[in-house]
Structure 1
Amino acid sequence: MKRISAILILNFFALSAACTQTPTTPTLTAKSWLLLDTNSNHVLASQDADVRVQPASLVKLMTGYLACAAIQDKKIALNQMVNVSNRAWKVDRDGSKMFIEPGTPVSIQDLLYGLIVQSGNDAAVAMAEAISGTEDTFVAQMNSTANIFGLKDTHFANSHGLPNPDNYSTARDLATLATHVVEDYPECYKIYSVKSFTYNKITQPNRNQLLSTDAGVDGIKTGHTAESGYSLIASANRANGSGNRRLIAVVLGAKSGNSRAQESARLLQWGYQNFDTIKLYGPRDIVATPKVWKGKEKQVKAGFLEDLYVTVPKGQSKKVKQVIEMNVPLFAPIAEGNKLGQIKVTVDDTVMLTRPIVALENVAQANIFSRLFDAAWLWANNTIDGLMKH
C-alpha cells in the first residue's frame, strides 16, 4: 500500500514575518575549528572542520575515555597498583610526563590524574598496558571505539598522540569524542577541571588556561607538537533559563598556547551571546497519538526517548515552528523505540533540526478477526479513494 504522510503543523510560539538573522561568524587564526552546542547537537560555526590533522595530545581523550569505561566496568580499580614498564618510562623522555618509574608501582587513580591533568605520555602507555596488556592491543580498542562513535576521519596509532602519520582526526570528530567524554562518565569527567596534580613530589599544572580565567569552563584538553601547532578543546557549562547549556569549542593548529586559549574563549563567548537553546520536549513527552491498524490498541503514544533541544539565533525563539510528520498507516506490532515519523523545527523557512519521532510503548497485534476487519476497512476505503480520483 502506498505510504502517505499526515502532516500536523504546530506553532510552538507566535510567528513573525522577519527573516532569520544569522550572527556573523568570528574570524580565527587557527587552522581549523568548530563550536558545538551539545544540548541540541547543533554546530554553531566552523572552519575546515573536516580537514584531517595530527591531534597530538588530544589523542589522550580516547585513552582517558577507555580508562573511565574500564573503571566503571570493573576491569580495573582506582586503588589497583600496576607496575611501570620500560616502554612506558621511555616513551618520550623530553615531552610531557608524570615521572613514573620502573620498579615503583603506581595506582590507577594516580595514572588517571597523570594522564588527564598532567597529560603524561608515560601515563598513557602505562594505562594502556594496565587495561589491555599491550599498547598495541589498546590502540586497536581505541580505533574500534572511534568506529562505534562514527568518527569517520579519525585513526589512532598510539595512546599518547606523539607524531605518527597514522594519528589523525578532525575538528568535527574531536567534538563528537569530547561530547562522549563529558556525557558518558560524568564522575570521571570532573578530573578534567582539576588545575594541578602532584606525583613523585613534582607538581604540574593543567595546561588548559581557561580553567583559571573562565568560571564556566570545566575541561577539556590541550595538545601541541611542532607539526600540529597548539590545540585546545574547551568545554563550558553555563546557566540557560531553567537549566544549563554546554558548548564545546575545538581549536586546532593555533600559533601559540595563548592564542589557542584566547580564540577558544572568543568562540565560547560568541556562542553564548548570539544563540539561545530551547528545550522543546522531555523524555517520554507525548508528541502525537497516531492511529494503529491491526493492533490490540487503536493508538500509540509517540515522542522522544531523550530531551529534545533546538538552538536558534538570539532573539529568534518566538519564531520557532514545528512540523510533525507521521508515517501512515501504522500497523501493529509496534515496539518501543520504533520510528513512527519525524519532527522538523524551523525558524522562518530555515530548518534548524530534524529528528525521528519514536514509539513510547509497545503495541501488540490484535486477534485474527480484528486484523481481518481492519484489512477490509482499509481495502474498501482505498478502493473508494481510487474511484473518486477517476
Structure 2
Amino acid sequence: MRQFLAARTLAAIGFIFATITLAPGLQEARAQGFQTIAPTAILIDAGSHAVLFEKSADELTAPASMAKTMTAEVVFNEIKNGRLSFDREFTISENAWRKGGTSSGGSSMFAKVNTSIRLEDLLRGLIVQSGNDAAIAIAEGIAGTEENFARMMNERAKQIGLTKSTFRNATGYGHPEQKVTVRDLSTLALHIIETYPDLYKMFGEREFTWNKIRQQNRNPLLFMDIGADGLKTGNIDESGYGLIGSAVQNDQRLIVVVNGLKTAKDRAAESRKLLDWGFRAFEAQQLFAEGQVVGEAQVFGGSRRSLPLVSKKPVRVLVPRGEGERVTARIVYTGPLKAPIQKGAEVARLQVSRGDMQALDMPLYANEDIQEGTLSQRALDGLLEFSTGWVRRAFTSVVEGI
C-alpha cells in the first residue's frame, strides 16, 4: 500500500511570481508579505489551523520557560482523565526550593520549603508567575523526580503531534538536549486551547499572589488591547527572548510563537506586529461546505471502486486580502482503501496550500458505507492491481473557482 494523492487546483484567484535572491531567512519572510526581526516565528489561524506566516519554524532552539506550557499540558491531561484534582497537595521539597525558589535567581512562586500546596495554586504559580519552584514541585509530586516527569512530557508531546521537540526538565532551565521548534510550540498551544478550554483560562490571568507576594503575568500581550488571553514567555541565555501568545478578534483566534529575540521589548513588539498583521491582512474563503463532497478515494475489493469523501466542518482557508495567490489542495491517503468501509470513518486528509505554504491539513471521512465486493469483483481488482498498477497512478482534476 502506498500513499495516494489526488491533486486539485482549487482557485483561479490569480498567480503572481518573481525571482528574487535574498539572504537566508528573509526570502521566506518577504515572500509572505511580512518581515520580522525574530529569528524563528510562526503565526497560526486557530479555526482553520492555517499557517499564515513562518520563518525558520522548524529550527531547533531552547524553549526556556515556554517549556512550562508542556508541563501544564501534562497536568491538564492528568486532571481531565481523573488522576489528579485541584485539591491534591504537593510538598515543596528542598530540591524544589533550592533550584527554583527565592535564592535560585530565576522566576519563582516564593513557596516555602517543606510546605504543602494545593495543585490549583501550584498551577497558577507555574503559569502566571512562571515559578520554577512550582514546576519542580509538580514534577516531583506526579512522577517522583523531575527526570521521570520529563519522560512523561516527551510521551505526551509525541501523542499530541510535537514531532521534533525534546524536553529534559519541567522548568525550561537550559539543557543541551532540551530543544523545541516554534511550529511544535504552536501545535502545543492549539492543543491546549482546543482540549482544555476551562483550564486554559489560567493563562489569561494577569496576576497571582502567593506568600503575600503579588506578581503580574509575564506575558506582555495580556496588557495590550488586542484580545490576548494567553500563553507563556521564556528567556535564558541559550534561547533569547521568546513568547507563545494567542488573541481573539471578531471571533477569530490567532496563535503566535517567536523565539531568539534580543530584548523583552523586541519580543513584545514583534509578537504584536505579527498578530496585528494577521488580523488585518487575511480574509476567509470557503472551499467546501460542511458535508459537501470534496473528492473521491479509490477502493480495493469493494462493492464499488470509489468512495466520496466529506469534511465534518466547512473547509475554509485564509488568503491575503486583495492579492492574487493560487490555492491548491490534495487528498492524501494510503490506498487504495480496503473494503469494507463504514460511513463516517476517517480515511484521508485534505491538505491545502497557499503558494508554497501549507495552509490547511484536516481529516476527511467516508460519506457512505462500502461493503466487501463479490468474489468476482475482488478477483478483478486483484487482476487490475497486478496487471496495470492502477493504485500507483495520480488522478488529477480541476475545480474551477472558489
TM-score by length of 2: 0.78
Distance in 2 between residues matched to 1:348 and 1:255, nearest whole Å: 31
Distance in 2 between residues matched to 1:258 and 1:312, nearest whole Å: 30
The Cα of 1:83 is off from its aligned counterpart by 2.0
How many matched pairs?
370
Question: Would the alpha carbon gap of residues 145 and 371 (structure 1) be closer, same or farther in structure 2, given more than 3 Å must change?
Answer: same
Distance in 1 between residues matched to 2:340 and 2:197, nearest whole Å: 37
Question: Would the alpha carbon gap of residues 376 and 77 (structure 1) be closer, same or farther in structure 2, given more than 3 Å must change?
Answer: closer
CA contact (8 A) 1:276 1:317 kept: no
CA contact (8 A) 1:80 1:107 kept: yes
Q: Describe the SS at the equivalent of 2:372.
A: coil
Q: Which runs of 5+ in 2 are unaligned?
A: 19-30, 388-402
Structure 1 counterpart of 2:46, from 38, 41, 60: 38
Q: Which runs of 5+ in 1 are unaligned?
A: 384-390
Q: Partner residue of 1:387?
A: none
C-alpha RMSD of the superposition: 3.7
Deviation string, structure 1 residues 332-374 (Cα, Å, up to 9, x no partner)? 311443536x6565679998556564314543325xxx55368
Distance in 2 between residues matched to 1:333 and 1:60, nearest whole Å: 45
Q: Partner residue of 2:207?
A: 196
Distance in 2 between residues matched to 1:331 and 1:376, nearest whole Å: 14
- Establish whether residue 70 from structure 1 lines up as the match of residue 78 from structure 2: yes
The Cα of 1:128 is off from its aligned counterpart by 1.2
Question: Would the alpha carbon gap of residues 322 and 187 (structure 1) be closer, same or farther in structure 2, given more than 3 Å must change?
Answer: same
Deviation string, structure 1 residues 296-344 (Cα, Å, up to 9, x no partner)? 689855212455331211135997676779999876311443536x656
Alignment of 1:99-138 (within 5 A): 99-138=110-149
The Cα of 1:281 is off from its aligned counterpart by 4.5
CA contact (8 A) 2:13 2:326 kept: yes
> Among the aligned pairs, what percent are the same residue?
37
Q: Which amino acid aligns with 2:320?
A: P
Structure 2 counterpart of 1:254, from 254, 261, 280: 261
The Cα of 1:151 is off from its aligned counterpart by 3.0
Alignment of 1:224-235 (within 5 A): 224-235=235-246
Question: Would the alpha carbon gap of residues 324 and 77 (structure 1) be closer, same or farther in structure 2, given more than 3 Å must change?
Answer: closer
Structure 2 counterpart of 1:159, from 142, 159, 170: 170
CA contact (8 A) 1:345 1:354 kept: yes
Q: Partner residue of 2:36?
A: 27
Q: Describe the SS at the equivalent of 1:251.
A: strand
Q: Partner residue of 1:386?
A: none
Alignment of 1:182-193 (within 5 A): 182-193=193-204
Distance in 2 between residues matched to 1:175 and 1:6, nearest whole Å: 28
Q: Describe the SS at the equivalent of 2:254.
A: strand
The Cα of 1:17 is off from its aligned counterpart by 5.0
CA contact (8 A) 2:302 2:377 kept: no
Q: Describe the SS at the equivalent of 1:91.
A: helix
The Cα of 1:95 is off from its aligned counterpart by 1.2
Q: Which amino acid aligns with 1:232?
A: L
- Establish whether residue 273 from structure 1 lines up as the match of residue 280 from structure 2: yes
Structure 1 counterpart of 2:155, from 98, 123, 144: 144
TM-score by length of 1: 0.80
